[in-house]
Structure 1
């Protein structure tokens, strides 16, 4: 699962409600790039750090009393009631010990009857049901060699469940009806499922645990106008006498129950192929023409991963479906991944965005998560860290080392940001809630730890070890020790130390590095400053890069002590020392360097992170001609992030001191091949001389790129020209999220009552991150225009605050309502919202 896309569309603002960083960084071009400095967190008042690991009860993997061998489902739907009518036929046997009772997970259902099946004949069985567990008396004791089949007639009522959620998966109803009565003309009618973590038991009885395996068949009865998708192979479609059809899907290889899926809607199916297997993209008909431009790298990804792993893509087909109002970013259902609607893009959106990262992430899960599955949620990084790291592997292969390095920096930033308030082991048996596992530890830190493991053993051993792990454990559930042993089997090394400090212990190294040179020797001191009450003293094999007399030499060292010094022979006074030459370490590193060292670093260290470090550390020295010269050279760098960072750094110059820099940036604003860089250049010029570049803004406003057009809108708005409102109003019907947000920023302050209808329309149509930011602007607008604080506006915000499926949208709507809290009726609504809210994150904020 990829949950970054709550960020994942770049939702940094949703961080107002959560300390967890969501993952979709590479999905969207950023208009700004920066390396943030992370400070060591201060201790709480009782001297226990706020991030100190929390001790909850132990969470073992589930005990298996029975083995679920096969599930056959026959399902139909009541759209009006949002119910599923089902018959589940389960084939089981005792796992080892004899059993005379069977207890299944079945949440919020009506159980109409249970039968023991012999062929087509059923014998009723007694059962007890408490709304979550279905306990069946089997009428005899079965041994582990005896299979039996039971049939359960039931109705699933997901909307009547007390749904919970997490940062990654916003709700756990399992089954979702979208626009079921067709009342929203702008939204299609759909049905889809989301099983992770343990929500599939809300629509069929099962063992809802990742350490179970089953094959399956699903018969879906639906109106013929709808297209269906499920796991495995599409076998046939049958027309029924009542005018419905029944589609039959068969999953012949075993997988975990949480990976079972359905998606139903009016879809265009865009066909593709990898080797002899179907690769299909299910999108709404309006996006049929762009589906291959979004998903079209999938076959190449399948070939790349198959060859590198030495294990061919293992399932019968691979389909990818886009659904409305998805409760996460994406989900790796076996052979049929589900994606949020942001992946449906028009031609203009395609100019600015790529979703290769999330597509690679869910595809890699087909091996790591589906083919081999974590045995418990405590071991979730065995699924998510690998899927996360696949984004780097693909970027490295397809787009080069800089793009991969950018993802690595982003991962580091996500984890370090979360570490300010949370430091837990990667493998966490003592979590408070299994949903807590879906955080920047399991994703971002996990991916970085895998990168260090790859660097430790080398590429050949890395891929050979993954092949061994997948081959040995295919169609089984695993824990972290089995990953370790796979690497030990291949390399012959004892890697307990690595797995213990990185997977089983919390935190990260906090290093202070210093160096001196004397008599042909470089003296390097490394101090581990992390709080060893909670974190280990780390063993860190790495390389030191030293430039002397214009030549680079690398020195391997192994840090094993809290305070350790190294003496390295160097041919002359070092011009530069780079600690962790491969930039692979997950750590904070405080290594003081002179201005001259930093300037030399930018020109000679051919990696992304050192270049960015130079620009960040020298941004306060913009009066220095040497610094300006380096930043001007950065404007010509091959990699867009360097160019963008240089623009944003230079924009700090006073206008009258920018000089020739403006001409370079003006040229970039018009011609840079990367649209995000053009947008940054436009905004930099607007910061300096707003009115001077009016024509530039006007030209940008008509650009095919939404990102560039939005920069043009903001630039023109800053001129305060008399015709600004008229010029911007031309874009009031644009749907590109960047343009909408640019307009909302201006209208929030300058828009009068006549813009109320625009705001209401945008709020009604908005989704995800766009809606979150819109609500912020709408709040400012309502504060400036009290005459628009109408009952209709209040009702709209109340509905969002009470009913939206995304918690941070509910919170943003609540905050917007507070603008009108002088009204008694709004005070009453706010109280009502607080009383009915179940999400602990929002309750903490409200209180």
Structure 2
């Protein structure tokens, strides 16, 4: 999967990621539009079984972004199909915007720019079809990284990135997971360049007639591969070998794009890979299957990471060094590594039949990340990851509910959401709690071994669990997998001192008839009451059809009074909890609760109560909290409270907090415009360099700019000019740039403009990812500039940037900026939207139309212009044959999403 699901990577996102909403049917409100139809796997009467792919990717081809190619597809027609009355005379391949020069092995063919239809006069019985074609500057799927005058230090290379349906932009194929083939790559490339692909490396041989050209051959013959997992790359990469695991060679590669990319950096980033493989194959009970395991890093992998068979791709944001290791980045990167590796089993060997079953790969990969944490880190770290998974899913349900298995969507890429990643992962965790560890993992091993090399559907997984456990899991799957929603608990607490009894009433309140969310989810909720002597009194609350949605529990104590109450203290059930037992119990649970989730919830409720006494309890307790993640969540809750006592606690924490992970989180939420916050941020920036990571500095500079204090401008500009601000990922520089945009002063604005718009023939002085953020910062600041003429000038520059810049990320940022700034951009809306609807994968056109519709609701002077734009673009949409075709090859970051870094969580 494209993975950026770790919550510790949240700073890689921008607010524009959640800007797009959907007009939808009631049952799918917020997820799918009213136009969405159920999607089904295609028929498979004529089956591709092998593809031999020949590519000419010399240096000249790379610079021209043009590749001469040939694919020879071996086709098989099952005997049962031949014997039937089925008509097997046509096969449709997905092939978008390719130059088809010749097709052999057919009686005729048609090509409409999207589909290559192969035809035979008589029923076809199998053979080889050979297609000669040319790939010319593809919109998606195959990404060229070519130096130019503004970014001369790009390392020349090309790399593929497909999920979910983008292979079709460079390879004629059946671009659906149902079709799996063996592979044969024959890649001609410049000798000084590296060439890698799926499968075993057979040879790399220099041409006898021209030693500057070599041919590399890779073959994947022992396993089959769906189109979305095909991968190859050619170009200027550095590489480092890391030994082998049971004869499987490990190698790491990275495009040579900046001074921080070294062999040492690569080894440091992926050093646990071997140990992870050994752990993984033991966990699932099947030997790691690939002939090699290569991991390759490129800035062109915008979605995060991708589990291509034997050749896993990563965005360069996942490299880390010692400095980033201080604040938790290493755990995040290790988690992504485990996630992608888990797809070896859940996704690569066991492939979903169609996209409604995507949870069988992405939920599982997310859960295996948690299992790695559980086996290798502290109990608190694993529990915190589980908590964040639950929170991530629940946060998304604020926008929409859908079943985990869902056939109705606008694009297959829409299924890669919080319901699939953390939502599905927590449901797997619940199944593990129901079956018990021994039975659960035995069932998983049976599942993996039974369906190794086969397609899987949800019922296959369910069947293996039932066979091993003897349980009937139909109702669980009906409620939790095929149904919508989760448990919402409301708890009422009382204590009878005379009888020494705690009474706890738990009520499920989630029922929603319109969304078909049931009144009762079957579940068992554990409750622990800790008394003032530290003794734990436990009980269970059982919900089923017989008990109804409200159950009362009585817990008998001894002479000691209750001090803390923990609901589901071991994190076994997916739920939210509305529980306000009073400040005394909340304080006791916050201070002495054994479960970090219970402590977090108690702190949140105290902050929500908002009284002076409640906030005093928070202030006195939080600095003594031992686990950094609890403190981080308290800081978030204080920031969201937006009341002065909460701001004061945050300001004090900026001075006192010492843990690098907690400090990084604290600086990210210190957003209040307040002098004490400002002084705290300045104090953070004044700390010794070895105490800070680039991410911490990023947030400190960003929120310092948010203070809009004129006295801070010189500090921001000096930091901008400091070469040391460019660290491994430009995090520090990114914060400075964003801070300048939030500062809104004319001087800060001009500094940003000068970063982006350089004279012809001049190189930009900042990394490309930071240039994207500078465009966003210009959009943030432009509306606050008093000089109208200057506002119009910069809007014109942004329109030109959208039109002429060759970097898709920068084009998207320019379009996004024009939409955001409004009035001054009116003359350029047509240009910007025309670029957006033609320069990217077609799916982005629909996203753009939807985005513009959301702006229409704001009214104002924009409405007429936006309405015309919507009508024009909707006209284009009506000409497209199906919505599915429109949504081909969805780019992972989306048109209005920019990442400084989208997790395979």
Gaps of 5+ in 2: 758-763, 838-844, 853-865, 867-905
- Are the structure 2 counterparts of residues 304 and 773 from structure 1 closer, same or farther at C-alpha, using a change threshold of 3 Å? farther
Structure 2 residue corresponding to 1:744, chosen from 737, 742, 748? 737
CA distance in 1, matches of 2:133, 2:318: 35
- Are the structure 2 counterparts of residues 110 and 545 from structure 1 closer, same or farther at C-alpha, using a change threshold of 3 Å? same
Structure 1 residue corresponding to 2:452, chosen from 463, 469, 474? 474
Aligned to 1:779: 780
Aligned: 1:842 with 2:836: no
CA distance in 1, matches of 2:309, 2:362: 15
Aligned to 1:795: 797
How far residue 766 of structure 1 moved from its aligned partner, in angstroms, is 5.7
Aligned to 1:613: 601
- Are the structure 2 counterparts of residues 371 and 721 from structure 1 closer, same or farther at C-alpha, using a change threshold of 3 Å? same
How far residue 627 of structure 1 moved from its aligned partner, in angstroms, is 5.8
Aligned to 1:169: none
8 Å Cα contact 1:180-1:190 kept in structure 2:
no
3-state SS of paired residue (1:643):
helix
Aligned to 1:168: none
Aligned: 1:135 with 2:145: no
CA distance in 2, matches of 1:657, 1:811: 33
Q: Which stretch of the first structure deviates more once superposed, 705-714 or 150-159?
A: 705-714
Aligned to 1:246: 215
How far residue 134 of structure 1 moved from its aligned partner, in angstroms, is 3.0
8 Å Cα contact 1:395-1:404 kept in structure 2:
yes
Aligned: 1:60 with 2:43: no
3-state SS of paired residue (2:733):
helix
Q: How does 1:37-186 map to 2 (within 5 A)?
A: 50-51=29-30, 56-77=36-57, 78-79=61-62, 81-95=64-78, 96-98=80-82, 100-107=88-95, 108-116=97-105, 125-138=107-120, 141=123, 148-157=127-136, 159=138, 173-179=140-146, 184-186=151-153
Aligned to 2:239: 269
Q: How does 1:810-829 map to 2 (within 5 A)?
A: 810=812, 813-816=815-818, 819=821, 821-822=823-824, 826-829=825-828
- Are the structure 2 counterparts of residues 62 and 502 from structure 1 closer, same or farther at C-alpha, using a change threshold of 3 Å? same
Aligned to 1:761: 755
Q: How does 1:317-466 map to 2 (within 5 A)?
A: 317-345=292-320, 347-352=322-327, 353-354=329-330, 355-466=333-444
8 Å Cα contact 2:528-2:566 kept in structure 1:
yes
3-state SS of paired residue (1:237):
strand
Q: How does 1:224-235 map to 2 (within 5 A)?
A: 224-235=191-202
3-state SS of paired residue (1:362):
helix
8 Å Cα contact 1:385-1:447 kept in structure 2:
yes
- Are the structure 2 counterparts of residues 687 and 539 from structure 1 closer, same or farther at C-alpha, using a change threshold of 3 Å? farther
Q: Which stretch of the first structure deviates more once superposed, 351-360 or 795-804?
A: 795-804
8 Å Cα contact 1:662-1:685 kept in structure 2:
no
CA distance in 2, matches of 1:592, 1:842: 44
How far residue 475 of structure 1 moved from its aligned partner, in angstroms, is 0.7
Per-residue CA deviations over 1:548-588 (Å, capped at 9, x if unaligned) read 46422332333124533244452356444333232232233
3-state SS of paired residue (1:743):
helix
8 Å Cα contact 1:775-1:816 kept in structure 2:
no
**Under a length normalisation based on structure 1, what TM-score does the superposition of the two structures give?**
0.84
3-state SS of paired residue (1:245):
strand
8 Å Cα contact 2:374-2:382 kept in structure 1:
yes
Aligned to 1:29: none
Kindly indicate whether structure 1 or structure 2 has the higher relative contact order, using CA contacts under 8 Å at least 6 residues apart.
2
8 Å Cα contact 1:647-1:665 kept in structure 2:
no
8 Å Cα contact 1:104-1:205 kept in structure 2:
no
Q: How does 1:196-235 map to 2 (within 5 A)?
A: 196-235=163-202
- Are the structure 2 counterparts of residues 591 and 693 from structure 1 closer, same or farther at C-alpha, using a change threshold of 3 Å? closer
8 Å Cα contact 1:538-1:560 kept in structure 2:
yes
Aligned: 1:735 with 2:726: yes
- Are the structure 2 counterparts of residues 258 and 835 from structure 1 closer, same or farther at C-alpha, using a change threshold of 3 Å? closer
How far residue 8 of structure 1 moved from its aligned partner, in angstroms, is 5.6
Q: How does 1:473-512 map to 2 (within 5 A)?
A: 473-512=451-490
8 Å Cα contact 1:465-1:490 kept in structure 2:
yes
How far residue 471 of structure 1 moved from its aligned partner, in angstroms, is 0.3
Per-residue CA deviations over 1:747-766 (Å, capped at 9, x if unaligned) read 33365448624544268656
3-state SS of paired residue (2:54):
strand
CA distance in 1, matches of 2:565, 2:315: 45
Calculate the aligned-residue CA RMSD, in Å.
3.8
Aligned to 1:33: none
Structure 2 residue corresponding to 1:17, chosen from 12, 16, 19? 19
8 Å Cα contact 1:364-1:390 kept in structure 2:
yes
Aligned to 2:255: 284
How far residue 277 of structure 1 moved from its aligned partner, in angstroms, is 1.5
Per-residue CA deviations over 1:454-480 (Å, capped at 9, x if unaligned) read 222122222211111110001111100
3-state SS of paired residue (1:105):
strand
Gaps of 5+ in 1: 21-43, 117-123, 164-172
CA distance in 2, matches of 1:128, 1:663: 70
Q: Which stretch of the first structure deviates more once superposed, 785-794 or 220-229?
A: 785-794
8 Å Cα contact 1:615-1:646 kept in structure 2:
yes
8 Å Cα contact 2:489-2:577 kept in structure 1:
yes
Q: Which stretch of the first structure deviates more once superposed, 784-793 or 380-389?
A: 784-793
- Are the structure 2 counterparts of residues 571 and 131 from structure 1 closer, same or farther at C-alpha, using a change threshold of 3 Å? same
3-state SS of paired residue (2:56):
strand
Per-residue CA deviations over 1:386-433 (Å, capped at 9, x if unaligned) read 112222122222322222232233323332232223211111123233
Structure 1 residue corresponding to 2:583, chosen from 592, 595, 606? 595
How far residue 535 of structure 1 moved from its aligned partner, in angstroms, is 1.4
